[in-house]
Structure formats: structure tokens, C-alpha cells
Structure 1
Amino acid sequence: MAALTIRDVPDDQVQTLKVRAAQAGKSLQAYVLDLIAREASKPTMAEMVARLNRETTAGVSTEDVLAAIDAGRAGG
């Protein structure tokens, strides 16, 4: 695993994180690691759009749809 150093974090933000970590029953390191893991596991908007494009792209043309509608109307 890699080590990560974050510089110039305002004191009030560090204190807030320490309090939240304590409330969660975790060390500051474990709490921040959970925050990072949660953030890294969420897809970005671009990743979501790419996934939706992959999953919703149909291999059916407009002509295929119209032919199926016509066939359905004709009872065939």
C-alpha cells in the first residue's frame, strides 16, 4: 500500500475529522482511509455516462423497429 501525506490541512478541519473518527470508533487514519475508499469507489459523471452509453446502445435500427411495428399491426 502507498503512503499519502496531505499538507496544509486547516486545524479546524483536522479537529472535525478527529471528532467524527472518534464518534465512529475509529482512528483518524482509519476514518480518512474509509473516506478515500468511499470516494474512489464512486464513479465520476463521465464514467457513468460511458457506462450508460455502453449499456443502452441498441443494435436495432429505426428500420427494424418500424418493420416490427408494421408486422405487429399486420398480425404477423
Structure 2
Amino acid sequence: MAEQLKARAAEAGLSLSVYVARELADIAARPTNAEIVKRLKARDRSQGPSSEKILQAVAEGRR
């Protein structure tokens, strides 16, 4: 694994430490699955289509 990281850092023209720091920053910036689920559950869905309409559209798409 260390060799892969070294190779990727070299391809990017970066030192290993700078490359790893950037990768960690990217990972930290991404929401976790739990955070995504929490956001989705908090959304107001009262204005969207009903479950019945969604199922109907899916059925029509399969024909």
C-alpha cells in the first residue's frame, strides 16, 4: 500500500506527505453515510410525488 501511495504522489508531482494530507482532507470533507441519511430524513417531502405515483411511473417505464 505504501508503494502505491508513493507512486500516486509521484504521478501528481507531490511529496508523499503532501499527497496524503490532501487525500485525508478530501476524505474528511465528505459526509459520512450516517450524515447523509440524517439529511435525507430531515427533508420535507410533502410537496413531492406520492408513493403511488412513483410506483405507477416505474411500472409504466417497464412496459
TM-score by length of 1: 0.54
Q: What is the CA RMSD across the aligned residues, in angstroms?
A: 1.3
In structure 2, what residue type is equivalent to 1:18? K
The higher radius of gyration belongs to 1
Unpaired stretches in structure 2, ≥5 consecutive residues: 47-63
Hey, what does 1:24 align to over in structure 2? Answer: 12
Unpaired stretches in structure 1, ≥5 consecutive residues: 1-12, 59-76
Matched, 1:43 2:34: no
| 1:34, distance to aligned residue in structure 2 (A) | 1.0
Structure 1 runs (4+) deviating above 2 angstroms are 55-58
In structure 2, what residue type is equivalent to 1:54? A
| Aligned residue-pair number | 46
Cα deviation code 1:9-64 (max 9, x no counterpart): xxxx1111111001001110011011111111111111001111222355xxxxxx
Instruction: State, as a whole percentage, how many aligned pairs show the same letter.
Output: 43
Hey, what does 2:21 align to over in structure 1? Answer: 33
Query: Partners in 1 of 2:24 and 2:10 — Cα distance?
Result: 17
Structure with larger RCO (C-alpha < 8 A, sep 6+): 2
